[in-house]
Structure 1
Amino acid sequence: MFSNKEEFKQSFIKKLEMTYGKSFEETSNEDRFQTLGQMVREHISENWIRTNELYRSSKTKQIYYFSIEFLLGRLLSSNLLNLGITGVAKDGLEELGISLAEIEEVEADAGLGNGGLGRLAACFLDSLAALNLPGHGSGIRYKHGLFEQKIVDGFQVELPEQWLRYGHVWEVRKSDLAVEVPFWGKVESYMENGRLNFRHVEAENVMAVPYDMPVVGYNTETVNTLRLWSAEPSPFPIHSDVLQYKKETETITEFLYPDDTHDEGKILRLKQQYFLVSASLHSIIRSFKKKFSHIGDLPEKIGIHINDTHPVLAIPELMRILMDEEKLGWEEAWDITVRTISYTNHTTLSEALEKWPIRIFKPLLPRIYLIVEEINERFCRHLWEQYPGDWRRIEDMAVIAHDQVKMAHIAIAGSFSVNGVAALHTEILKTREMKQFYEVFPEKFNNKTNGITHRRWLLKSNPELTQLINESIGDDWIKNPILLSELEAFRDDHSFAAKLMWIKQQKKQALAKRIEQQSGIKLNLDSIFDVQVKRLHAYKRQLLNVFHIIYLYNRIKEDSSFQPYPRTFIFGAKASPGYYYAKKIIKLINSTAELVNKDPKVNKYVQVVFLENYRVSLAEQIFPAADVSEQISTAGKEASGTGNMKFMMNGAITLGTLDGANVEILERVGDENMFIFGLKAEEVMRYYLNGDYRAREYYHHDKRIRQVVDQLVNGFFPNSFGQFEAIHDSLLAENDQYFVLRDFASYADAHEKVAEAYLDRDRWMKMSIINIAQSGYFTSDRTIQEYAEEIWNIDKVKMLH
């Protein structure tokens, strides 16, 4: 691209002026970002083409990772980092009077995801390319993402994400590879050569147009592909109302997770899911057939991985292609399908396992429904042979039951591998949530503990810490992150600890500056930065956190001798637009913040900040600044969590329950380097089974709890009459489903231990160093290597010169 900054400067100015037809001085930061982005993409293109050619010519097995979300964040700085040209670009731009950091701020976070599911998919793509593994992503190009969150009077307000306002410099539209996806219509059967065939007729077709994005490997020439599909009207629609058809078509890829509390939203979600898998499978089979003559070789050359239940329709759709288009019989098609598809489960919440009403599914996807019916029929017959007379088991495990199609059941029956995402999560799947399936298919179940890409969450977001690590143990850990364990040797090194503490202070200062600019709140930099950033959901228990803050407020107000160590509580979270309860918790956090921050008696000790529109680029500034990582979900409810790993990698200490990957973090760092509290997963399960939890007992017997719960409804919060009754009722009338009151005392005690440990700076820094040292295990490179070897059976492919 450019071997030195002089060459870079000349290329940059020439391209900038030629593209925008104005002098360098007249150009804006937007122009400069677009120009730099185009230069980087052109540089990537050569290796992108060569990688694809290599995969074609070597006929190597390739993996396609189907996910409804890819939470990529900004790509300019990560692409510069992975290409090894950050320094040249930064220095060259500086000499032109341009700040690379300012140009990076121009880039919008790609609106392609929401939470951990999508961020995991993005980390996995990064690791696949960095490890020279042939793996690609398949997703949807959402025009407006999830939503942009604004906080108005303490309430969440949703606005469309305008991330495509200026186009997207990293994508390439491939209209010549568009695919037609059919909805509605009916199925006709006909005989041909003595064989019963089916065809989908009178369908409403939608064009799926692919937009390809390069996925650049770190310090390697491998460039894989993320293919995103956009819905466009068919050039020959059969719809009687063309304008209505156009509107309905474009809606398919307009928003992530449309509100499915009504039928219209359910239909749209199901459309999105079929649109993704149908377009992706057509594209994959088309390229497979150019290279291989026999469709039976598909499982040896192609792997389809479905990330949670959203892409489960890949199973019946692949069956449809193999039977209706490739003319295979059921048994052969089923054998190929099961050997091709693997599935990751991401939840222990039964309500989160997708189910679709037949009355919606059948008319929208008539041919797919017939295939799902046949899958159900054969699966139930198989169960009957294994468990004759056990109607209850068959009813529980059926793919179709009680007028619903059960997506997780299709996923397990129609794949060869089912993995959980943390050791505890996988055990819960095997022994509880999917126990009956595990008894039938024990060989399918396995665990792959999640990981994060250290390239984004350490190298990119915390270059100062990266440099300190490099100076201390060399830089081999970047290629082999398990070598971070060598930092254990510095656990008692005061010089190292002092440097680490200085870096943490710089990061706290940078975050505090941003918060002050956005909200006017001036933070105490000597306070403990206690952070909970994640999707807003009842089981993640942001409510427990805010209850503890209200308790601290009460105690400071009532007891003049109580002078706790100062702490700043930082929240970031989006609530799903239709999730009324979660939005009430956001309001409660903001009402508490207003109360606390305005009270001079209290704000010396406690400050509360809710950061609006939590996203990847904001997270990159939050994780390095955190002292305490709040991972406080009800035990047994969080599948894994990956925020816990990002905090850990940046030296924050976990305050958490024994849930998800917290269990494995504890195994690695020891209980003296974490703050564990609350019920264990088996205790939670016992309460559910025995039905002997009484929330009111905790309310009556702990005056701290009683005071806080009463304050929800007694006028304590100004101008909030009736606002928090739903929260109050969930705790008392509905018996506190997530054990907030049960865990309160244990949580408050853990917070006292946090303050005590933080006062002993030597002890705290030692804990921080041990956490960083043990974080190498929790990288997505380790996770992806396990997927590659134990599920996908793919090998590294490197360019040969």
Structure 2
Amino acid sequence: MPTKKTTRKTASQKPAPKTATTPGKAPISTAEIKESILSHLEKTLARDTNTATKRDWWIATSKAVQDRILSRYIDTMGVHNEENVRRVYYLSLEYLMGRLFRNNIFNAGVFDQVSEALGELGLDIDELAAEENDMGLGNGGLGRLAACFLDSLATLDLPAIGYGIHYEFGLFKQEFENGYQVERPDNWEKFGNPWEIMRPEYMQTVNLYGRVENRVDEKGDFKPVWVDTRSINGVPFDIPICGYGTKTVNFLRLWESKASEEFDFQVFNEGGYVEAVHDKAVGETVSKVLYPNDATESGKELRLVQQYFFVCCSLQDIMRRFLKKESDWSEFPSKVAIQLNDTHPAVATAELMRILVDEQGMPWDEAWGITRKTFAYTNHTLLPEALEKWSVPLFERVLPRHLQIIYEINRRFLEEEVEAMWPGDSGKKSELSIIEEGEPKMIRMAYLSVVASHAVNGVAALHTQLLRDYLFNSFDNLYPGKFQNKTNGITPRRWLLACNPELAKLVTGKVGEDWPKHLDELKGLEAFAEDPDFQKEYLAVKHTKKEQLAAFIEKNMGITVNPSALFDTQVKRLHEYKRQHLNLLHILTLYHRILHNPDYDMVPRVFVFAAKAAPGYYLAKNIIRAINKVGEKINNDPRVKDRIKVAFLPNYGVTLAEKIIPAADLSEQISTAGKEASGTGNMKFALNGALTIGTLDGANVEIGEEVGDDNIFIFGLEVEDVESLRASGYNPWDYYNSNAELKAVLDWLQSDAFTPGESGAFQPLVDSILKNGDPFLVCADYAAYIEAQEKVDAAFRDRERWAKMAILNTARVGKFSSDRTIREYADEIWDLPSVPVK
């Protein structure tokens, strides 16, 4: 709470007014921002400066910033509507937005003014930022990529609207109990969100279930009609997306499900309170939680309903906007580009066909031509088991008309396109069929996405090549030129400017102020990579960020860590292919060496983990517990002498990443070669001066090409080696029996040394490696990984060498701006020109 002294400074005490230079607007002063904050405090929140809580101040400040953003938003929409622009519509089931407070202040161009205004009010901008919950709209890299893309679309003046679901609960809040992951509800919006705007006037109705009957139309032809459906409503919430250094403000539209009937008033009056609100509860379940557990049939059904719900609402909204200016459906692809972010929104292709054929009476071929010109598809996985499939019986129950349409798409595809390419080849038809034969039959949504789109892209050069060579090889032969690469990127506004202001200031002092929008300008830092004074400044910034993270770890986990140690970090979704368990084996190896040689010489390390495991992924949860229990043992063993510390930080999300990434010395990107599509965490770490230890997988390949072989630690099998090893009959026992350290740590892990009285606690983890074939080749890469870590140790001891390597990582990753990625999408897939807003 500010004191009267801090809120009543005299004119002589005040610094000269700070002004922002927002494009197209008169400069905004610190005094104006301060007045706006105080006005919202009083008139929006009914508070005065003596009674306001920090949360009140956060909301009031957010509203003051939002005022500036909304003014630009109205101008942007005015230009887009007047010019009837072509737009891209980005469909994604996830948007891992994090907190918007600092990012919006930076992008609105008023950071200095807001910071100074709050200072005059006796408030700290970082303390207010901590009042905001991370938006519970995403899970991992796919959702964070979508958020970065929205930022870049606005920054590049590209007309765009994102569509998703307004989840009431995020994935889950993660806690640890006795080392176990425990999932709690993530009620991220319990007390509202100052950044969003409810738009009930654009509510849409979604039909589900029912059946299809053939009726005779006025011309005597049979026409399928979807009848006896159940309906729910979708109410949109808009979140403005503010571009950096421009006046453009796009928006993200999120759909919240509402029952079509609130409740049965008569039943309620008769005392049937639960029964009266049953339909309301069912209707609102659709947008209740991100990724409901699909281990049950009801969970699978809810996921399918979720996917159709949001694409149905979105397509109706897109068509409403199109029909305001156009009446000729042949113009639809010239005004609308739709990007499918993975297969979650793939049913949109069948929905557009249903609308055009059933509701608009369009001939099939004409509708199919429009559909193919409209959609493009981004693939995000090389794991065949991760390619989404739906059982035909489930699809028939939920979306009977769409099943018919998909069958017809498949029939024409096989009889016309596949037959023309491979005449009489029934094996090729079976291979490429959208419908996979079996009990039950399955709909391959990735195949539907490929067939119904005019462009398909991977998200790293290696990933795209593997898609073409393996996963979609026959499709690539059938559709020459359809597959292309769009290497992922990250927004430097959030992932350096906002999350690491100390490094951002140092960078600006050397290369100027334009780098957040033109990341290639970081190249200018190369000239200072061997400058002793700059190296000292750079390492001092890194030490400051490590001190901040160390304080956070001690406060939240009670673990004391040394900021001068090497901070070795692996933060990402918990999955076997990402191989957090390989990292664990390295920790155990170091621990084992120390216990057998008390004077073992090693650079002290702090191993930082953060990751969530899917609730039904029990082996991943066993890996989490193993890391926690091993860490607990090591952290409390005086024989270690603090040479190793392990901290597994719970509830990983964007805000936690913003604390960890700037502090990291080493970035663990150790997936099995050929399994990671791209990765974006690897880019964030490199931008903030962490060195990568990794396999030649995903975007690691391109990061290595950019930063140079001398500034990255690459180890292990390459894709060709992995394939060859599997083909020759890989046996993990061969490695276990021939490597004494590997054998020792695996035997140790399956004892009760880390869980006294609980023998075999980590047997599932060890069995996955030794008895179940080691599917991700942990044993095969172990020795090379340990050797690479020894090279890391040697490099870290040479502070000048390490500083040079870190500086060159920051200097050379300009390619990995999401602005570059989006410009490639706009030019090569969407044919989308920029529309500057004056």
TM-score by length of 1: 0.98
Give the structure 2 partner of residue 212 of structure 1.
238
Give the structure 2 partner of residue 181 of structure 1.
206
Contact 2:33 2:64 in 1 (8 A): no
Contact 2:752 2:761 in 1 (8 A): no
- The 10-residue stretch of structure 1 (44-53 or 613-622) with the greater mean CA deviation from structure 2: 44-53
Return the match for 2:328 from 279, 294, 297: 294
Return the match for 2:809 from 767, 771, 783: 771
Contact 1:172 1:211 in 2 (8 A): yes
Give 1:10 deviation, angstroms.
2.7
The answer on 1:304 being equivalent to 2:329 is no
The answer on 1:383 being equivalent to 2:395 is no
Alignment size in residue pairs: 799
Contact 2:553 2:560 in 1 (8 A): yes
Give the structure 2 partner of residue 268 of structure 1.
302
- The 10-residue stretch of structure 1 (94-103 or 533-542) with the greater mean CA deviation from structure 2: 94-103
Give the structure 1 partner of residue 110 of structure 2.
85
Return the match for 1:406 from 444, 454, 457: 444
1:452 and 1:143 map into 2 onto residues whose CA distance is 27
1:685 and 1:307 map into 2 onto residues whose CA distance is 28
Give 1:238 deviation, angstroms.
11
Return the match for 2:589 from 551, 555, 559: 551
Residues 321-347 of structure 1 show CA distances to partners (whole Å, capped at 9, x for unaligned) of 111111101100000000000000000
1:770 and 1:564 map into 2 onto residues whose CA distance is 25
Return the match for 1:394 from 426, 429, 439: 429
Give 1:245 deviation, angstroms.
2.4
Give 1:197 deviation, angstroms.
2.7
1:727 and 1:569 map into 2 onto residues whose CA distance is 20
1:505 and 1:39 map into 2 onto residues whose CA distance is 34
1:494 and 1:768 map into 2 onto residues whose CA distance is 13
Return the match for 2:763 from 719, 725, 730: 725
Contact 1:150 1:157 in 2 (8 A): yes
2:47 and 2:324 map into 1 onto residues whose CA distance is 46
Give 1:191 deviation, angstroms.
2.7
Residues 310-366 of structure 1 show CA distances to partners (whole Å, capped at 9, x for unaligned) of 000010001011111111011000000000000000000000000111111111101
1:297 and 1:428 map into 2 onto residues whose CA distance is 35
Residues 573-623 of structure 1 show CA distances to partners (whole Å, capped at 9, x for unaligned) of 000011101000000000111011001111421100000001101111111
Give the structure 1 partner of residue 132 of structure 2.
107
SS of the residue corresponding to residue 20 of structure 1 reads coil
Within 5 A, what are the aligned runs for 1:580-619? Answer: 580-619=618-657
1:479 and 1:701 map into 2 onto residues whose CA distance is 52
Contact 1:204 1:238 in 2 (8 A): no
Return the match for 2:86 from 61, 66, 76: 61
Identity %: 46
Contact 1:568 1:606 in 2 (8 A): yes
Give 1:540 deviation, angstroms.
0.1
The answer on 1:122 being equivalent to 2:147 is yes
1:715 and 1:768 map into 2 onto residues whose CA distance is 40
Give the structure 2 partner of residue 682 of structure 1.
720
Give 1:231 deviation, angstroms.
0.5
Residues 752-786 of structure 1 show CA distances to partners (whole Å, capped at 9, x for unaligned) of 00010011111111111111111111010000000
Return the match for 1:645 from 660, 683, 688: 683
SS of the residue corresponding to residue 813 of structure 2 reads helix
1:133 and 1:526 map into 2 onto residues whose CA distance is 44
2:214 and 2:531 map into 1 onto residues whose CA distance is 76
Within 5 A, what are the aligned runs for 1:387-786? Answer: 387-402=422-437, 403-688=441-726, 690-719=727-756, 720-786=758-824
2:118 and 2:752 map into 1 onto residues whose CA distance is 56
Give the structure 1 partner of residue 5 of structure 2.
none
Residues 496-546 of structure 1 show CA distances to partners (whole Å, capped at 9, x for unaligned) of 111000000000000100110001111111110000000000000000000
Give 1:237 deviation, angstroms.
8.6
1:531 and 1:603 map into 2 onto residues whose CA distance is 21
Give 1:2 deviation, angstroms.
7.7
2:309 and 2:463 map into 1 onto residues whose CA distance is 30
Letter in 2 for 1:275: F
Letter in 2 for 1:647: F
Contact 2:458 2:484 in 1 (8 A): yes
Give the structure 1 partner of residue 254 of structure 2.
228
Give the structure 2 partner of residue 202 of structure 1.
228
SS of the residue corresponding to residue 26 of structure 1 reads coil
Contact 1:139 1:227 in 2 (8 A): yes
Give the structure 2 partner of residue 70 of structure 1.
95
Contact 2:546 2:663 in 1 (8 A): yes
Give 1:482 deviation, angstroms.
1.1
SS of the residue corresponding to residue 589 of structure 2 reads helix
- The 10-residue stretch of structure 1 (241-250 or 255-264) with the greater mean CA deviation from structure 2: 241-250
- The 10-residue stretch of structure 1 (102-111 or 47-56) with the greater mean CA deviation from structure 2: 47-56
The answer on 1:372 being equivalent to 2:406 is yes
Letter in 1 for 2:227: V
Give 1:95 deviation, angstroms.
1.1
Contact 1:596 1:603 in 2 (8 A): no
Residues 204-247 of structure 1 show CA distances to partners (whole Å, capped at 9, x for unaligned) of 10101110110000021100010000000003899996533222
Contact 1:138 1:280 in 2 (8 A): yes
Letter in 1 for 2:798: D
SS of the residue corresponding to residue 531 of structure 1 reads strand
SS of the residue corresponding to residue 241 of structure 2 reads strand
Give 1:474 deviation, angstroms.
1.4
Give the structure 1 partner of residue 379 of structure 2.
345
Structure 1 stretches of 5 or more lacking a match?
none
Give the structure 2 partner of residue 141 of structure 1.
166
Contact 2:96 2:144 in 1 (8 A): yes
SS of the residue corresponding to residue 476 of structure 1 reads coil
Return the match for 1:6 from 5, 21, 31: 31
2:780 and 2:479 map into 1 onto residues whose CA distance is 37
Give the structure 2 partner of residue 15 of structure 1.
40
Letter in 2 for 1:710: D
2:316 and 2:476 map into 1 onto residues whose CA distance is 32
SS of the residue corresponding to residue 228 of structure 1 reads strand
SS of the residue corresponding to residue 443 of structure 1 reads coil
Give the structure 2 partner of residue 313 of structure 1.
347
Letter in 1 for 2:648: F
- The 10-residue stretch of structure 1 (452-461 or 45-54) with the greater mean CA deviation from structure 2: 45-54
1:319 and 1:633 map into 2 onto residues whose CA distance is 39
Residues 108-148 of structure 1 show CA distances to partners (whole Å, capped at 9, x for unaligned) of 00000000000000000000000101111100011001001
Give 1:721 deviation, angstroms.
2.3
TM-score by length of 2: 0.94
Contact 1:278 1:314 in 2 (8 A): yes
Contact 2:262 2:277 in 1 (8 A): no
2:609 and 2:370 map into 1 onto residues whose CA distance is 47
SS of the residue corresponding to residue 280 of structure 1 reads helix
The change in CA–CA distance for 1:53 and 1:799 in structure 2 (over 3 A counts) is: same
- The 10-residue stretch of structure 1 (205-214 or 35-44) with the greater mean CA deviation from structure 2: 35-44
1:507 and 1:618 map into 2 onto residues whose CA distance is 13
Contact 2:458 2:487 in 1 (8 A): yes
1:603 and 1:391 map into 2 onto residues whose CA distance is 67
